[in-house]
A and B are shown apart, each in its own frame.
Chain A
Amino acid sequence: MLEVKNLSRSYEKGRMVLNNVSLSFPEGSFTIIAGPNGSGKTQLMRHLNGLLKAREGEVLLDGRNIREDLQAARRRIGLVFQNADSQIVGQTVASDIAFGAENLKWPRQKINEKLEELLTELSIGHLRNRRPHTLSGGEKRRCVLAAVLIMNPEIIVLDEPFTGLDYQGVSDVLKDITRLHKDGKTIILITHDLEKSLAHADRLVLMKDGEVVKEGEPADLIEDVEDFGIRRPWGNERDLETMTWLKV
């Protein structure tokens, strides 16, 4: 289980980007963290994997502070950043996906086997020799998702994974996320666009001005989201189950 305890961070005097945030993400859960721009969602994400060091508070993985063994924590917690372009390291899709596994010093044969498995699983085998930066938005997102999945993380944190994607792109990425959740992965999805994915989440966390203002089951919080600057999916009588862009 991943836990965040009393996490605070400020950059300028008096302005807290994270203010006493405490959250827990049970194994196999699907949590959506929602909030308007500047609410501290991305800052929180960067603490989860140890990219930012907590100045106050701590991040615990199975009860141990992640900074005790950062390498192990980073292997177990995969981050998919908002801008796919800025996390592409390899010159081809295949070499970019293999990058993480190479850093884990796996033997080449194991890397190649896992690579093939992921290319098939995410239906991106035809892209393996393409330059990642020339892919479409949806293809890029799936490429960076595969690059994180090759390290076999238990927890996957995705920062605004649907930004700039068309209907097909959103649908493809969402399909992969829900499949990973069904396979037992813990999903933490950061978004302010609830309409596309809320139906799949079992927990909703609302953030504003660096604070967690509400958390609970999506059905209990959906009526309150507009009070915190998040657009409620269209239609007052709308069921929670319809708040997805995935074809049923």
Chain B
Amino acid sequence: MAEGLIFQYTPGESILHRIDIRIKLIGMIALSLVLIKVSPFRLCFLLPVLLSLDICSRNDRRISLPPPILFLMPLIIFAGNFISLGPWETGGFKPALAAAGFRALRFICILWMAQLFTETSDPMSITPAFYRLLKPIPLIPAGRISTSMGLSLTLIPLIISEMGEIRDAMVSRCGWNPRRPVRNLTSMGIPLLEGVLTRAEALSDAMESRLFTEDATEPELLDDSLRTSPSLFLLLLLTALFMGERLLLNIDILESFMNFY
């Protein structure tokens, strides 16, 4: 499999590469929480920020579009929301389109953040960083969660690659019909699911044979990265967002925190 796939680490020296992974994780979680509420203001506020971060993270300063298959999920979200909200609930065709569009856009933002995070975070440090972040929180199984996260990050590129292979196999046997997306999706989804489950079972056997335990030696955090300035930037960004919402839309800050959906 080639290096440099989507959701894979690309070594670099950009600011985003040098930020402490824990700050990036906190930032990603905080911004995802902010996006739980589907707000055009929040989306308009965050999109330029994400675009700037994306440009900063690129070593060659070029923006490349992710593979089209990644837009499938936002497309499903858009269609699903449009059908479920419907013009009869939102009071017209345009409001329904806008509401479904904003929800799909929110998903794209979350995917974009995940891409920026994985692209600029050394995989060797992600699991230890997550472990250190969770460890002080009582009753949270930090070992289990960080291992699961590490495994997910390992598997995502493999699943995407497998999806591509199944699609290519379907195309080569004339089984991919752009006019029948639902049929394509079921034809691709079933073998993909089977493959993922088989792989998960084999992985679990391999972990068992290598004595997996949650009480293992603590992972190592190799770190000489930026902490203070990115933390301040994140704090300022969130303050600006809530203040902007308060000033422009007259929404109470406390209400902003509580109003997720």
Contact (A91, B217) CB under 8 Å given A51-B208, A86-B202: no
Contact (A131, B9) CB under 8 Å given A86-B202, A90-B154: yes
Residues of B200-225 contacting chain A, CB below 8 A: 202-203, 205-213, 215-220
Which residues on the B side are within 8 Å of A46 (C-beta)?
A: 205
Tell whether, in the assembled complex, residue B124 and residue A103 are in contact, meaning their CB atoms are under 8 Å apart: no
How far, in whole Å, are A241 and B193 apart by their CA atoms in the complex? 46
Give the Cβ gap from B130 to chain A, nearest Cβ, in Å.
12
Tell whether, in the assembled complex, residue A133 and residue B1 are in contact, meaning their CB atoms are under 8 Å apart: yes
- In chain B, what residue has the closest Cβ to A79? B209
Contact (A87, B206) CB under 8 Å given A102-B216, A134-B3: yes
Tell whether, in the assembled complex, residue B210 and residue A131 are in contact, meaning their CB atoms are under 8 Å apart: no
Asked whether A106 is an interface residue with its Cβ less than 8 Å from the other chain, the reply is yes
Which residues on the A side are within 8 Å of B212 (C-beta)?
A: 99, 103
Give the Cβ gap from B152 to chain A, nearest Cβ, in Å.
10
Interface centre among B1, B209, B219 (most CB of A within 10 A): B209
- In chain A, what residue has the closest Cβ to B155? A133
Mask for B207-249, Cβ within 8 A of A = 1, else 0? Answer: 1111111011111100000000000000000000000000000
Give the Cβ gap from B131 to chain A, nearest Cβ, in Å.
11
Asked whether A120 is an interface residue with its Cβ less than 8 Å from the other chain, the reply is no
Tell whether, in the assembled complex, residue A89 and residue B154 are in contact, meaning their CB atoms are under 8 Å apart: yes
How far, in whole Å, are A161 and B185 apart by their CA atoms in the complex? 35
Which residues on the A side are within 8 Å of B206 (C-beta)?
A: 79, 81, 86-89
How far, in whole Å, are A129 and B11 apart by their CA atoms in the complex? 11
Asked whether B6 is an interface residue with its Cβ less than 8 Å from the other chain, the reply is no
Mask for B83-121, Cβ within 8 A of A = 1, else 0? Answer: 000000000000000000000000000000000000000
Tell whether, in the assembled complex, residue B209 and residue A94 are in contact, meaning their CB atoms are under 8 Å apart: no
Instruction: Known A-B contacts: A85-B158, A105-B216, A108-B217. Give 7 more (CB < 8 A).
Output: A78-B209, A88-B154, A89-B210, A90-B150, A92-B123, A102-B219, A134-B1
Tell whether, in the assembled complex, residue B208 and residue A133 are in contact, meaning their CB atoms are under 8 Å apart: no
- In chain A, what residue has the closest Cβ to B153? A91
- In chain A, what residue has the closest Cβ to B202? A86
Tell whether, in the assembled complex, residue B123 and residue A91 are in contact, meaning their CB atoms are under 8 Å apart: yes
- In chain B, what residue has the closest Cβ to A88? B154
Residues of A53-92 contacting chain B, CB below 8 A: 71, 74-75, 78-79, 81, 83, 85-92
Which residues on the A side are within 8 Å of B219 (C-beta)?
A: 95, 102
Tell whether, in the assembled complex, residue A131 and residue B3 are in contact, meaning their CB atoms are under 8 Å apart: yes
12 A-B residue contacts at CB 8 Å?
A51-B209, A74-B209, A79-B209, A81-B206, A83-B202, A90-B154, A91-B126, A91-B127, A95-B127, A105-B217, A111-B217, A147-B210
How far, in whole Å, are A89 and B219 apart by their CA atoms in the complex? 14
Give the Cβ gap from B189 to chain A, nearest Cβ, in Å.
21
Asked whether B199 is an interface residue with its Cβ less than 8 Å from the other chain, the reply is yes
Interface range for A? 35 or more
Which residues on the B side are within 8 Å of A106 (C-beta)?
A: 217
From B2, B9, B203, B215, A89 is in contact (CB under 8 Å) with B203
How far, in whole Å, are A81 and B215 apart by their CA atoms in the complex? 25
How far, in whole Å, are A34 and B126 apart by their CA atoms in the complex? 42
How far, in whole Å, are A210 and B195 apart by their CA atoms in the complex? 26
Asked whether B157 is an interface residue with its Cβ less than 8 Å from the other chain, the reply is yes
Residues of B151-181 contacting chain A, CB below 8 A: 151, 153-154, 157-158
From A85, A86, A103, A133, B211 is in contact (CB under 8 Å) with A103
Interface centre among B205, B207, B211 (most CB of A within 10 A): B211
Contact (A103, B210) CB under 8 Å given A81-B205, A86-B202, A89-B151: yes
How far, in whole Å, are A102 and B210 apart by their CA atoms in the complex? 10
Asked whether B57 is an interface residue with its Cβ less than 8 Å from the other chain, the reply is no
Residues of A84-135 contacting chain B, CB below 8 A: 85-92, 94-95, 99-108, 111, 129, 131, 133-134
Give the Cβ gap from A208 to chain B, nearest Cβ, in Å.
25
Give the Cβ gap from B149 to chain A, nearest Cβ, in Å.
10
How far, in whole Å, are A74 and B126 apart by their CA atoms in the complex? 28
Give the Cβ gap from A113 to chain B, nearest Cβ, in Å.
13
Asked whether A148 is an interface residue with its Cβ less than 8 Å from the other chain, the reply is yes
